[in-house]
Structure 1
Amino acid sequence: MRFFLLLTFFIFSVGSGNGCQLENSSTEATKDWWETAQFYQIYPRSFKDSDGDGIGDLNGITSKLEYLKDLGVTAAWLSPIFTSPMVDFGYDISDFFDIQPEYGTLEDFRALIKRAKELDLKIILDFVPNHSSNESSWFKKSVKREKGYEDYYVWHDGKINATTGDREPPTNWLQYFRGSAWEWNEERQQYYLHQFAVQQPDLNYRNPLVVDQMKRVLRYWLNEGVSGFRCDALPPLFEVLPDADGQFPDEVMTGATDDPDDRDYLTTTYIENQPETIDMVYQWRTVLDDHKRIFGGNSSVLLIETYSAAWFSMQFYGNRSTEGAHLPFNFNLITVMEQKGLSASHVQEAIDLWLNNMPAGRTANWVIGNHDKRRAASRYGEEHIDAMNMLVMILPGASVTYQGEEIGMTDGDISWEDTVDPWGCNSNPDIYEQYTRDPERTPFQWTSGSNAGFTDGPSTWLPLADGYETVNVETESSADRSHLKIYKSLVALRKSSKTLQNGSTKYGILEEDVLVIRRSLTNSPTLVVLINFGTETKTVDVSQFDKSLTANLNLLIRSLDSTKTEGTGYDPLSLSLEPAEALILTTE
Structure 2
Amino acid sequence: MSVTGNQTVIRLRLGLLTLLLFAIGQGQGCQVQSSGAAETKDWWETAQFYQIYPRSFKDSDGDGIGDLNGITSKLEYLKDLGVTAAWLSPIFASPMVDFGYDISDFFDIQPEYGTLDDFRALIKKAKELDLKIILDFVPNHSSDENEWFKKSVKREKGYEDYYVWHDGKVNAETGKREPPTNWLQYFRGTAWEWNEERQQYYLHQFAVQQPDLNYRNPLVVEQMKRVLRYWLNEGVAGFRCDALPPLFEVLPDADGQYPDETVTGATDDPDDRDYLTTTYIEDRPESIDMVYQWRTVLDDHKRIYGGDSSVLLIETYSAAWFTMQFYGNRTTEGAHLPFNFNLITVMDQKGLSAQTVQEAIDLWLKNMPAGRTPNWVLGNHDKRRAASRYGVDHIDGMNMLVMILPGASVTYQGEEIGMTDGEISWEDTVDPWGCNSNPDIYEMYTRDPERTPFQWTGGSNAGFTDGPTTWLPLAGDYETVNVETELAAEHSHLKIYKMLVALRKSSKTLQNGSTKYLALTEDIFVVRRSLANSPTIVGVINFGSETKTIDLREFDKNLSGNLQLLVRSLASTKSEGTTFSAQMLSVDPAEALVLTTQ
Per the normalisation by structure 2, the TM-score is 0.96
Deviation at 1:520, TM superposition (A): 0.2
Indicate yes or no: 2:596 matched with 1:586.
yes
Aligned counterpart, 2:195: 185
Q: Aligned pair 1:295/2:305, yes or no? A: yes
Amino acid at match of 2:203: L
- From 353, 369, 384, the equivalent of 2:379 is 369
2:35–2:512 contact (8 Å) kept in structure 1: no
1:241 aligned residue = 251
Give 1:15 deviation, angstroms.
Answer: 9.5
2:480 to 470, 476, 483: 470
Q: Distance in 2 between matches of 1:16 and 1:90?
A: 46
Deviations 1:40-66 (A, max 9, x none): 000000000000000000000000000
- Distance (whole Å) between structure 1 residues aligned to residue 271 and residue 519 of structure 2: 41
Instruction: Provide the alpha-carbon RMSD of the alignment.
Output: 1.0
Q: Name which of 318, 322, 334 aligns with 2:344.
A: 334
Please state how far the C-alpha of 1:511 moved relative to its aligned partner: 2.2
Partner of 1:305: 315
Could you tell me which residue of structure 2 aligns to residue 90 of structure 1? 100
Residues 1:433 and 2:443 aligned together: yes
Does the 8 A contact of 2:547 with 2:587 survive in 1?
Answer: yes
Determine the structure 2 residue equivalent to 1:218: 228
Give distance in 2, aligned partners of 1:551 and 1:326.
40
Deviation at 1:161, TM superposition (A): 0.3
Of the three residues 550, 555, 569, the one matched with 1:559 is 569
Shift of 1:19: 2.2
Q: Is this contact kept in 2: 1:535–1:580, CA < 8 A?
A: yes
1:278 aligned residue? 288
Q: Which residue of 2 aligns with 1:360?
A: 370
Q: Distance in 1 between matches of 2:348 and 2:568?
A: 26
Kindly provide the CA deviation profile for residues 387-427 of structure 1, in whole angstroms up to 9, marking residues without a partner as x: 11011111000000000000000000000000000000000
2:468 partner letter = P
SS of structure 1 residue aligned to 2:535: coil
Query: What are the Cα deviations for residues 3-23 of structure 1, in whole angstroms up to 9, with x where unaligned?
Result: xxxxxxxxx997984321001
Q: Report the Cα distance in structure 2 between the residues aligned to 1:262 and 1:152, rounded to whole angstroms.
A: 27
Counterpart secondary structure, 2:520: strand
| Contact 1:13/1:21 (<8 A) preserved | no
Q: Which has the higher contact order (CA 8 A, sep 6+)?
A: 2
Alpha-carbon deviations, 1:349-401, whole Å to 9, x = none? 00000000000000000000000000000000000000110111110000000
Specify the code of the residue in structure 2 equivalent to 1:196.
F
Secondary structure at 1:526's aligned position in 2? strand
Question: Residue in 1 aligned with 2:114?
Answer: 104
- Map of 1:64-79 to 2, 5 A cutoff? 64-79=74-89
Contact 1:303 1:329 in 2 (8 A): yes
Cα deviations across residues 144-165 of structure 1 (Å, max 9, x unaligned)?
0000000000000001000000
**In structure 1, how many angstroms separate the alpha carbons of the residues matched to 2:46 and 2:161?**
42
Q: Secondary structure at the match of 2:230?
A: helix
Instruction: Tell me which amino acid in the other structure corresponds to 1:139.
Output: F
Q: How many angstroms apart in 2 are the aligned matches of 1:16 and 1:51?
A: 55
Equivalent of residue 150 in structure 2, options 131, 140, 156 = 140
Residues 1:119 and 2:123 aligned together = no
Deviates more, 1:224-233 or 1:565-574: 565-574
Deviation per CA, 1:126-161: give whole Å up to 9, x if none: 000000000000000000000000000000000100
1:7 is aligned to: none
The one-letter code sitting in structure 2 at the alignment partner of 1:409 is M
CA contact (8 A) 1:416 1:429 kept: yes
Partner amino acid, structure 1, of 2:361: I
- In structure 1, the residue matched to 2:19 is none
Letter of the structure 1 residue corresponding to residue 81 of structure 2: L
Residues matched between the structures, number: 577
Note if contact 2:27-2:554 (Cα within 8 Å) is conserved in structure 1.
no
Alignment of 1:175 onto 2:185: yes
2:339–2:375: 8 Å Cα contact kept in structure 1? Answer: yes
CA contact (8 A) 2:431 2:447 kept: yes
Structure 1 counterpart of 2:216:
206
Partner AA of 1:136 in structure 2: N
Q: In the alignment, what sits opposite 1:519? A: 529
